[in-house]
Structure 1
Amino acid sequence: MKWPKRIATGFLAVVMLYLIAALFGSILPANQFWKSSDDGIELFIETNGLHTGIIMPIRSDVFDWSVLIRPEHLKDPTVYGSHILVGWGHEGVYRNTEQWQDLRFSDAASAIFGSDEVLLHVYHLNYPQAYPHYRRGIKVSEAEYRKIVETIKARFAFDEAGGPIPSSGYGKYDLFYKSRGHYNAFYTCNSWTSDVLRQAGIRTGIWTPFQGGVMRWFLETEPEN
């Protein structure tokens, strides 16, 4: 019985070290002295309790997302909104796990040990301030937003004709796009969100594998009456 106990003890020690590292990574700031612009491009950081993402205007002076994310990609093009919510993650987890209770062991194992099967998740919505589960918007400069755009654009995979590769999502308002990258326990969907912001010079945690580590840096939005 010694070896099973040692294996179990070792496994628990690894899990505890991971959680402690995630806690400190979420608390310690990158870009500590960054401040939201008084005027600039307004973004929102969102969570559904599992995945995080960045809400951006489809059109701005910096970039027009409609060159990549087209109305005709949606089953119902009329729901094409003024903003998009973009996240990145493991294909199996994204497709099969809209909420924590949907998580399957096979998807969890693949996500932990690593997979190149990754997707961008794009949700269409109109100006999102009234949604109570979104966090308070931040304003970024055009230079900061340009870095965010370039980082996200680099994640798109393209077909032979040079176009993005869409597929159906959870409902009529969202869809997935084939993506590039490698997902594992140390680079999760939530790590990606912080990474995009961090590369643009925006304050966030240095390592945020869980959604709470991302969201703690952003204040809650008060819903409109």
Structure 2
Amino acid sequence: MKIIKKVAKGILYFLLVILAYLLISVLVSYITVNSNSDDSLDEKTIFLSTNGVHLSVIIPKESLTQNVLEDLQFHKNHQYFMFGWGNENFYLNTPTWNDFKLKYGFEALFLNSPTAIHLTTFYQKRKSWIAVKCNQQELNKLNVYILNTFKKDRQGKKIIIPQKLYAINDTFYKANGSYSPVKTCNTWVNSGFKESGLKASYWTLFDFGLLNKYD
């Protein structure tokens, strides 16, 4: 009987921790940073996209620096580059939620496992994308943020992950950083906006935290 009570208490504490984590995640996502930035020089446009869970940032090819474009594989006529970051195994083994397995989720959240950048390129922009105005200085900082996320080999080249594609217009690359409950695919995009001086959430677990700043 005592064992059952201890197990029940343990489960209750675990659920309370999860509940507190989710509640705090929602609350801090409404705290806005960089809200007073000067938008008078905002002559550039980038985009945000979500699949309902996972945020990505899209940058026109003409707005990417040569350092970011170098070593990337893409069709020469594609003009828009969508970047996402996440746990490598989760990315590669879960192209849709129908492929989800608990072990992939557990590994992504609680184990120090490799991460990847998911690059998808497009010929033209999509209607579902949310436009974000920015200036050249902010754009330069975002380029640096994305570039520094790529893991490089000894020759300083980006490391492509071979033979792992969702479609013909996407590729995966080795990335820096470790996925965790406080550093997720959505916090990666949000942090890029924060570091670039763009309006962002203080911290956001969910995609709506950043999307709501630009609705």
- Structure 1 length-normalised TM: 0.86
Matches within 5 A, 1:137-216: 137-167=131-161, 168-216=164-212
1:132 aligned residue: 127
Partner deviation per Cα, 1:93-129 (whole Å, 9 max, x = no partner): 211223334321111101111424000010001231x
1:87 aligned residue: 84
Instruction: Write the distance in 1 (CA, Å) between the matches of 2:141 and 2:5.
Output: 53
SS in 1 for 2:62: coil
Instruction: Write the distance in 2 (CA, Å) between the matches of 1:150 and 1:12.
Output: 39
Unaligned segments of structure 2, at least 5 residues:
none
Instruction: Write the distance in 2 (CA, Å) between the matches of 1:154 and 1:185.
Output: 21
1:22 aligned residue: 25
Unaligned segments of structure 1, at least 5 residues:
72-76, 220-225
Q: Which sits farther off after the overlay, 13-22 or 206-215? A: 206-215
SS in 1 for 2:213: coil
Instruction: Write the distance in 1 (CA, Å) between the matches of 2:145 and 2:42.
Output: 22
Instruction: Write the distance in 2 (CA, Å) between the matches of 1:69 and 1:200.
Output: 22
- In the alignment of these two chains, the number of paired residues is 209
SS in 1 for 2:172: strand
The answer to whether the Cα contact below 8 Å between 2:86 and 2:117 also exists between their aligned partners in 1 is yes
Of residues 59, 62, 71 in structure 1, which corresponds to 2:62? 59
The answer to whether the Cα contact below 8 Å between 1:93 and 1:111 also exists between their aligned partners in 2 is yes
SS in 1 for 2:21: helix
Instruction: Write the distance in 1 (CA, Å) between the matches of 2:134 and 2:14.
Output: 42
What CA RMSD, in Å, does the superposition of the two structures yield over aligned residues? 1.8
The answer to whether the Cα contact below 8 Å between 1:59 and 1:66 also exists between their aligned partners in 2 is no
Q: CA deviation at 1:36?
A: 4.6
| Identity in percent | 26
Letter in 2 for 1:217: K
Instruction: Write the distance in 1 (CA, Å) between the matches of 2:194 and 2:59.
Output: 16
Letter in 2 for 1:175: T
- Structure 2 length-normalised TM: 0.89
The answer to whether the Cα contact below 8 Å between 1:90 and 1:115 also exists between their aligned partners in 2 is no
Letter in 2 for 1:125: F
The answer to whether the Cα contact below 8 Å between 2:80 and 2:122 also exists between their aligned partners in 1 is yes
Q: State yes or no: 1:2 paired with 2:22.
A: no
1:122 aligned residue: 119
1:105 aligned residue: 102
Instruction: Write the distance in 2 (CA, Å) between the matches of 1:36 and 1:122.
Output: 28
After superposition, the Cα gap between the structure-2 partners of 1:70 and 1:95, relative to the gap in structure 1 and judged at 3 Å, is: closer
The answer to whether the Cα contact below 8 Å between 1:50 and 1:99 also exists between their aligned partners in 2 is no
Instruction: Write the distance in 2 (CA, Å) between the matches of 1:159 and 1:141.
Output: 32
Q: CA deviation at 1:46?
A: 0.7
After superposition, the Cα gap between the structure-2 partners of 1:123 and 1:17, relative to the gap in structure 1 and judged at 3 Å, is: same
Instruction: Write the distance in 2 (CA, Å) between the matches of 1:152 and 1:50.
Output: 20
SS in 1 for 2:149: coil
The answer to whether the Cα contact below 8 Å between 1:116 and 1:181 also exists between their aligned partners in 2 is no
After superposition, the Cα gap between the structure-2 partners of 1:100 and 1:150, relative to the gap in structure 1 and judged at 3 Å, is: same
Q: State yes or no: 1:48 paired with 2:82.
A: no
